[in-house]
């Protein structure tokens, strides 16, 4: 199987011109998904090595505020796996103690970025680093830890104050530029409000399709992994036990989910031979696809957040969210989310149900040539640390 990953920078225009071909590759289980996935991620990517974050205004304390959002900045840092330090951090979820692991210090959590995190229900975003403050029972230094930067309710998380960029892995000029931006500029947004039109764009449509394909393929890979482990007598990995410590409390937040209709998978994945080489290749593919799915979902959820706050939330009052989705009140139906220019003549259909008798209401729109995009909202309870800030 050839992995054609050495491709030039892909633009949004390329995806618009070739979206049907790209969509076809995502839908075909017999096709190698890695090249189209790389092209899609490339179009979503941000390269700050060739540009400088600008100053939008100076706040009341005289601090320059940048016109760049932190999501874009962190995306640029994640690509080269930049090493960061978080001097202070207060946990949002309840603390956990993992058997055989110890934390040297709760301050200065530092290490290379493994990936960016995004909650697929709420609008919490963060960063996963190989935290050098954590040591396991075998003496290995640096274990994955997630630090949220945007809270579960979609606001700035107050449990962290700043990020420091370390030079490891970055060339001198790039490091100086990015580190200087972190030290001298204040970020006004985690996700820039002007990102909302991307919700209607081809890259988002392809991202929804790619995510569906990845979910399906990873499900197959995990079944194959279990089958090969049994056939080759490979013992499954035993994970250390973790226990929550400290009191928890529940908070209610809005959950927002998006789906794509009209995209169907076809064909079948080819089973792997029961050999050690096949098993090793399967493991490499699993880890790679899981990492790419996390990157893709981060960009998708950032777009969803901008749409939710700017296109939907500013046109539909929060008290009417659920009634609007039901589609039973003609006056509420007139309240339409903001639409990008290329879909201005289309209407969001409310009260849509996936099947007859279903209880969940969706808002639905034909986005392109028989493909419909839909979203739903619901209130959801989330557990957080009783000591965390609100």
Average pLDDT over residues 313-329: 95
Span 291-317, average pLDDT: 96
Domain membership of residue 262 (yes or no) is no
Task: Output the CA–CA distances (angstroms, integers) from residue 145 to 128, 132, 242, in the order listed.
Answer: 5, 10, 14
Task: Specify if 27 maps to a domain.
Answer: no
118-153 pLDDT, tens per residue?
A: 999 999 999 999 999 999 988 999 999 999 999 999
Predicted pLDDT of residue 47: 67
d(CA 3, CA 33) in angstroms, rounded, equals 9
Point out the domain boundary residue: 190, 209, 238. 190
Q: In this structure, is residue 326 part of a structural domain?
A: yes
Residue 351 lies in a domain: yes
On whether residue 304 sits in a domain, the answer given is no
Q: What is the pTM for the complete model shown?
A: 0.91
pLDDT (0 to 100) of residue 1: 37
CB neighbour list of residue 168: distance below 8 Å, 6 or more residues apart: 82, 83, 112
Of the pLDDT bands very low, low, confident and very high (cuts 50, 70, 90), residue 3 is: very low
Torsion of CA 315, 68, 188, 163, to 10 degrees: 140
* Owning domain of residue 331: 311-383
pLDDT exceeds cutoff 80 at 54: no
Structure tokens at 171: 């060339």
Q: Which of 56, 179, 207, 31 is nearest to 118 (CA)?
A: 207
Final residue before a domain boundary, out of 160, 190, 220: 190
Q: Does residue 243 belong to any structural domain of this protein? A: no
Domain total in the chain: 2
Domain membership of residue 152 (yes or no) is yes
Nearest-5° Cα angle at 219, 205 to 208 = 5
Tokens 């970020």 sit at which residue?
Answer: 187
Among the ranges given (96-100, 123-127, 227-231, 305-309), the one the predictor scored with the smallest mean pLDDT: 96-100
- Say if residue 179's pLDDT is above 80: no
More confident residue, 69 or 336: 336
- 71 belongs to a structural domain: yes
Higher-confidence position of 245 and 306: 306
pLDDT at 254 exceeding the cut of 50: yes
Which 3-state string (H, E, C) describes the chain? CCCCCCCCCCCHHHHHHCHHHHHHHHHECCCCCHHHHHHHHHHHCCCHHHCCCCEEEECCCCCEEECCCHHHHHHHHHCCCCEEEECCECCCCCEEEECCCEECCCCCEEEEEEEEEECCCCCCEEEEEEEEEEECCCCCEEEEEEEEEECCCCCECCCECCCEEECCCCCHHHHHHHHHHHHHCEECCCCCHHHHHHHHCHHHHHHHHHHHHHHHHHHHHHHHHHHHHHHCCCCCCCCCCEEEECCEEEEEEEEEEEEEECCCCECCCCCCCCCHHHHHHHHHHHHHHHHHHHHHHHHHHHHHHHHHHHHHCCCCCHHHHHHHHHCCCHHHHCCCCCCCHHHCCCCCEEEECCCCCCCCCEEEEEEECCEEEEEEEEEEEEEEECCCCC
Q: Which residue has the higher pLDDT, 61 or 166?
A: 166
Sign of the dihedral through C-alpha 191, 192, 195, 199: positive
- The pLDDT of residue 95 is 85
Crossing angle for the helix pair 172-184 and 70-78, to the nearest 10 degrees: 150
Dig out the tokens for 82 from the structure. 């930049």
**Among 190, 225, 259, where does a domain finish?**
190
């Amino acid at each position: 199987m050839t992995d054609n990953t050495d491709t030039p920078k892909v633009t949004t225009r390329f995806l618009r011109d070739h979206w049907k071909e790209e969509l076809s590759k995502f839908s075909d289980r017999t096709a190698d998904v890695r090249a189209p996935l790389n092209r899609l991620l490339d179009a979503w990517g941000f390269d700050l090595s060739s540009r400088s974050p600008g100053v939008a205004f100076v706040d009341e304390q005289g601090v320059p505020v940048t016109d760049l959002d932190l999501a874009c900045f962190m995306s640029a840092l994640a690509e080269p796996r930049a090493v960061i330090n978080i001097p202070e951090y207060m946990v949002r979820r309840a603390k956990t103690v993992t058997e055989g692991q110890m934390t040297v210090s709760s301050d200065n959590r530092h290490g290379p970025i493994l990936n960016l995190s995004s909650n697929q229900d709420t609008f919490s975003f963060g960063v996963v680093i190989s935290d050098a403050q954590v040591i396991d029972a075998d003496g290995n230094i640096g274990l994955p830890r997630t630090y949220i930067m945007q809270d579960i309710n979609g606001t700035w998380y107050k449990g962290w104050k700043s990020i420091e960029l370390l030079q490891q892995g970055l060339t001198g000029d790039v490091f100086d530029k990015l580190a200087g931006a972190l030290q001298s500029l204040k970020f006004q947004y985690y996700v820039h409000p002007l990102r909302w039109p991307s919700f209607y764009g081809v890259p988002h449509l392809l991202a929804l399709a790619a995510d569906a394909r990845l979910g399906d393929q990873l499900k197959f890979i995990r079944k194959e992994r279990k089958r090969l482990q049994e056939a080759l007598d490979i013992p499954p990995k035993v994970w250390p036990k973790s226990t929550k410590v400290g009191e928890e409390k529940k908070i209610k937040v809005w959950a927002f989910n998006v789906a794509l209709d009209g995209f169907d998978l076809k064909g079948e994945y080819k089973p792997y031979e029961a050999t050690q080489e096949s098993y090793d290749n399967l493991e490499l593919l699993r880890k790679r696809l899981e990492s790419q799915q996390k990157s893709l979902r981060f960009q998708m959820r950032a777009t969803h957040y901008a749409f939710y706050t700017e296109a939907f939330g500013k046109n539909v009052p929060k008290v009417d969210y659920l009634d609007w989705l039901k589609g039973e009140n003609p006056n509420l139906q007139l309240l339409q989310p903001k639409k990008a220019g290329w879909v201005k003549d289309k209407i969001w259909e409310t009260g849509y149900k996936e099947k007859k008798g279903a209880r969940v209401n969706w808002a639905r729109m034909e986005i392109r040539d028989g493909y419909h995009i839909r979203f739903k909202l619901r209130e959801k309870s989330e557990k957080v640390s009783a000591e965390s800030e609100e």
